[in-house]
Structure 1
Amino acid sequence: MSRNAWLLIIVLIAVLLGVNNTVYYFTTKNSLEDGLRHELDSVAKQIAISIENSRNGSEIYQEEVGRELRAASVATQYALDSDVDKVSNDQLAELAKKLDLVDITLLKRTKDNIVLYKSSDPKEIGYKTDSWDPWYQAFNQLFDQKQVTIDWGQSLQNFWTGPFEFSSTETKSIQKWGYYFDGTTNYISDPYISYESRQLAFDNATGVNTLIQKTLDANSWLKEIAVINPETFPDGKAKTLNEKGEWVTHKTQNPIIEGAYTLKAATDTANVKLANKQGLKTYQDATIRGEHVIKLFIPVDVSTKVASMLDGEGEPIPRYVLTLVADYGTIQHTLNEQLINIALIIGIATLLSLVFLYWVVAAYRKSQDKLVRRAQETYLEEINGMFQSIRSQRHDFLNHVQTMNSLAKLGKTEELTAYAEELTGEIHQMNDIINIGNPAIAALIRSKMLQADTLKVEFTTVFNDMNKLELGIKSLDLTRLLGNLIDNAFDEVMTYEEGNRSVSIEAGQKDGYFQFMIRNTCSRAEALRDKPLFQAGFSTKGNGHSGLGLHIVKSIVDKYKGVITMSVDEPNSVTFMIKIPY
């Protein structure tokens, strides 16, 4: 095989391996990304369920705190005078201390407002509540109906409370207020407690933030988890301007309800909106602070209205968005490891493939060289045999002339005629062989004639216009092609009686191609029509035959862009016809 052919094979192998490696890389990458998304989705669903359970538990706990505040309100009413003007701030301070409350405030209704009239905390006194929506609406319902019916907060008999929240009068702490009025006083009792004294311990043990932190600790590939309020995201916390000119934030309207939101991307707002409005989970590839991450936005429906999650108008939201941020570096690390392993495997496989290919090519070339040598030896033997026959005829010519002279002197005319005809036939036969015009074919035909005489086979040949054979067909290929066809014909006719052994060969130059036609006796010709005669290894001769003869013929014909066909033109006869263009 030439150097260029080897180079072409190596380039093709390299290209195939490169394509295979590229396809494998992207297939693996997509598979790992799908796996990460599936893992994100699974973790998100588990977290959503856990968050809902935790949040519901927190809501139930808040309701219990509300009942505690109602009990404190009833106790406050029994401990104080029914007229707010007869209650002192010192009494309220002492009572708040006994009931383990932060403070107690009493609300009085005026002509056009409801004010904080008395309190254990002097800073509370004098505030008007008409800007506190929906608290002001609840206060009026308590005074008018002794019951709150607004669809927010917790309503009990003669009592109402909202969620833990920042106060308009105390902006640095989170508190929960309870409001009680049964008509026996001219004020609303308002005991309140702090988030730190009641809810904080519960949230630290079972709250959403604790759950999120445990999830992050257990999954190193998770970078961040946040519970987003889609109604207030991303503009910031809703604020109210109080009477002191201070902007008061509202915990219930925070855009980030729980968790942390520090890994921000430009597409987050659109993805949160999409998840909230259409109820669809959304994935986003992003590079944040130089880190490649995948973000998942998944909507979570709230089954009941919750006072701790409100929109900008103070109404409970029906759905929040849970977002998880995964580190893409875990995928890249896995890909890098697999690429190194694959590169090693491909390198070893390539080396072994090249060694195996070299061995196959070497074995093939050795086999081909062996066949060529055998053909050359046969060619030389047949050429030498033909020239030996010619030399023998010349050597014996004097003997033939003397014999004929003796027969003439003796007057044996009939014997002389017979002898001359026999001698003339032998000379014509040799001349016909020589006149074929191609030494290789001439030598082959002469050899096959001798073989036919030995085998008692009737072997006839017709060759015409073979002068252009040297233009394109190698002599060795010709002897292999015709030799295999004649041998195949001889093998077939030897299965019949001596008088039925007939093989003929015709060859000639046609318009643009050479035609070779081998015909021989074959009683089973019809049965051979559908057989794979030209397939390597196929043989109809039984054991001991390689089945390569016709396959070699077909290979040589294909090499010269020719065609070979088998036909059954007459009973008990088969013909192989070859056409090779020149």
Structure 2
Amino acid sequence: MIMRRNVWLLAIVLIAVLLGVNNTIYYFTTKRSLEDSLQHELQTIAKQIEISIELSRQGSEKFQEQIGRELRAVSIAAQYALDPDVEKVTKEQLIELSKKLDVLHITLLKRTSDNIELYKSSDPKQIGFKTSTWNPWYAAFNELFDTRNVSIDWGQRLNHFWTGPFEFAQTETSQIRKWGYYFDGSTNYIIDPYISYEDRQQDYDEETGVNTIIAKTLHENGTLLEIAGINPSTFPLGEQTTVTQKGDTLFHMTQQPIIYGSYLFKYDQDQRLVKEANESNESITVNTTINDKHVLKLFIPVSVDKSTSMLDENGEPINRYVLTLVADYQTIQNTLDKQFHNIALIMLTATLLSLIVAYLTASSYRKSQDKLVRRTQETYVDEINGLFRAIREQRHDFLNHVQTIHALAELNKTEELKAYTCELTGEIRQLNDIINIGNPAIAALIRSKISQAESLKIKLETSFTDMNHLGLGIKSLDLTRVLGNLIDNAFDEVMQYPEERRLISIKGKQQSGYMEFAVSNTCDNIEKLSGKPIFESGYSTKGATHSGLGLAIVKTIVDRYKGSVQIVLNEPNMVTFIVRILD
């Protein structure tokens, strides 16, 4: 009984372990799937952002080109309004002309023997600045003076005109300006009208600019924490600055490491990853912790056409920048936590249900086993009692037998005496044979089956040898169940035949390490047993009135003792079941 409990407990533990392993695998598989899904989602978002940013950036540059054309028109208008000799142009003329042409200021650049300087202007702060350190502006100025056109591959080039992007001013380092430069040779100076960023470009950028798109994207997508455009050339160098003639520090918008967006989630491998993404032109994703947050950070290279707003440290346009996206991994973790809670609930429910089912199954099995053992024990007791009763009856009738023998002897009825003693001797011998089997349980069973056979007019032959070393207890009960079911099965079969053909033979013997029983009976339809699952529970060849459990019980008990059961069809119209059980 304890062993059966341990088996069921082991089965329950195995079920719980299997559920745990299954759910653990499911959890980590789900985690990987969610991570892959988030990365795919980020790639998709990044592509959309890349397209949006590029459209916005290109739109901004197109807008700047339109401004450039306006500055050229202003320059031509100023040329017609001003004297071709810079010495004859006055400050007042430039101030009035700036207002009429709706620009911030107009400055005139004069070429000297060793430089090009801001010679006259409507803004007094402009006057006196030399431009030889303004790269690439100084090269453009020289080309205008020399060839009337600019050939450098940067900025906006029109006929007799050149303009760069919006940039911080050398003369006022806190102000952002856009300058146009015109020279067609009809004057001895370059005309330089310029406007402020706040007056022209700022409104456009606030409505449709890159930083506006980034801000809206971050607001609408709770997963994203940060978006930044990184200049791969200047990113390792930090802020790009120069010192003006006045000693002020001048920042360069076009050469900043962070082109747009913010850079608050700094990772110690950023420089290496930006370089790798830029050089390989392949996206890179890292799973790490930044600012005490578990994040996924993407590095996505974006190729661009010639741009006037993104330059390397030497002032040359770059053809690729790196877009970085930082996503909050907590989104995945929240989903995983929710999934884990669901899994834990399912696991707990399944485990409880499994335990309940296992308990009910074990309880039902135990009850059925207890009932079966109890029934077997009751049968065993009845059969033992029957055996003892038969012995007592013989002892009780002994005096009657002696008196009958004495009477027959006195009357000289020799033939009747022989017949009577022969019958009496046979009965005593039969009972002695049963007692001599050696195992009370088997002896009682055989005694009971002999009585049953007599009442059914079945010829029952028995032969047992060396069975006196069998033990009692559960093993004896199992033996009586095996033998009893085989004999009952034989009874059911022979009862289909006439009395003269109702023959059953029971043999038993004990060898070293095993015991063997053979139950033979009359059977005409031997072919109906061939290839049939006769040892399966519920299968029967005797019709619907039989449960089909007898042979299944025999097989179960024999298997428990690692024994064997086989059918032998080696005699005509006889079938033999041979059971061998290991001792």
Q: TM-score, normalised by structure 1?
A: 0.92
Within 5 Å, give how 1:56-205 maps onto structure 2. Answer: 56-205=58-207
Distance 2:573 2:234 in 1: 98
Give the Å deviation of 1:198. 0.8
CA-to-partner distance for each residue in 1:526-556, whole Å, 9 max, x for gaps? 5534333322222222212222212211221
Distance 1:519 1:36 in 2: 74
Question: What's the secondary structure of 2:239's corresponding residue?
Answer: coil
Question: What's the secondary structure of 1:545's corresponding residue?
Answer: coil
Paired residues of 1:105 and 1:116 also in contact (CA < 8 A): yes
Query: Which letter maps to 2:294?
Result: H
Alignment size in residue pairs? 581
Question: What's the secondary structure of 1:265's corresponding residue?
Answer: coil
Paired residues of 2:20 and 2:347 also in contact (CA < 8 A): no
Give the Å deviation of 1:405. 4.1
Specify the alignment match of 2:507 in structure 1.
Answer: 506
CA-to-partner distance for each residue in 1:251-306, whole Å, 9 max, x for gaps? 1111111111111121222222232222222222222332222222222222x211
Distance 1:571 1:107, change over 3 A: farther
Specify the alignment match of 2:459 in structure 1.
Answer: 458
Specify the alignment match of 1:573 in structure 2.
Answer: 574
Percent of aligned positions that are identical = 65
List gaps (5 residues or longer) in structure 2.
none
Distance 2:580 2:303 in 1: 81
Within 5 Å, give how 1:525-544 maps onto structure 2. Answer: 525-544=526-545
Specify the alignment match of 1:362 in structure 2.
Answer: 363
Within 5 Å, give how 1:439-458 maps onto structure 2. Answer: 439-458=440-459
Distance 2:322 2:234 in 1: 12
When structure 1 is superposed on structure 2, of 391-400 and 439-448 the one drifting more is 391-400
Specify the alignment match of 1:45 in structure 2.
Answer: 47
Question: What's the secondary structure of 1:82's corresponding residue?
Answer: coil
Give the Å deviation of 1:436. 0.5
Question: What's the secondary structure of 2:504's corresponding residue?
Answer: strand
CA-to-partner distance for each residue in 1:288-340, whole Å, 9 max, x for gaps? 332222222222222x2111112222222222222222222333334444444
Question: What's the secondary structure of 2:181's corresponding residue?
Answer: strand
Specify the alignment match of 2:287 in structure 1.
Answer: 285
Question: What's the secondary structure of 2:377's corresponding residue?
Answer: helix
Distance 1:273 1:366 in 2: 75
Out of 246, 251, 261, the position equivalent to 2:263 is 261
Distance 1:238 1:574 in 2: 105
Distance 1:122 1:486, change over 3 A: same
Distance 1:212 1:463 in 2: 98
CA-to-partner distance for each residue in 1:436-472, whole Å, 9 max, x for gaps? 0001000111111222233333322221111221178
Distance 1:405 1:325, change over 3 A: same
Specify the alignment match of 1:208 in structure 2.
Answer: 210
Distance 1:506 1:473, change over 3 A: farther
When structure 1 is superposed on structure 2, of 548-557 and 560-569 the one drifting more is 560-569
Within 5 Å, give how 1:468-479 maps onto structure 2. Answer: 468-470=469-471, 474-479=475-480
List gaps (5 residues or longer) in structure 1.
none
Paired residues of 2:566 and 2:578 also in contact (CA < 8 A): yes
CA-to-partner distance for each residue in 1:372-391, whole Å, 9 max, x for gaps? 12111111111111122222
Distance 1:238 1:466 in 2: 106
Paired residues of 2:179 and 2:195 also in contact (CA < 8 A): yes
Distance 1:175 1:571, change over 3 A: farther
Question: What's the secondary structure of 2:144's corresponding residue?
Answer: helix
Distance 1:453 1:128 in 2: 138
Distance 2:311 2:569 in 1: 95
Distance 1:266 1:532, change over 3 A: farther
Distance 1:300 1:533, change over 3 A: farther
Out of 222, 225, 241, the position equivalent to 1:223 is 225
Distance 1:523 1:71, change over 3 A: farther
CA-to-partner distance for each residue in 1:497-537, whole Å, 9 max, x for gaps? 44443332222111221122223333444553433332222
Distance 1:128 1:522, change over 3 A: farther
Distance 1:572 1:233 in 2: 100
Give the Å deviation of 1:211. 1.0
Paired residues of 2:514 and 2:582 also in contact (CA < 8 A): yes
Is 1:242 aligned to residue 237 of structure 2?
no
Paired residues of 1:526 and 1:568 also in contact (CA < 8 A): no
Distance 1:170 1:490 in 2: 120
Query: Which letter maps to 1:129?
Result: T
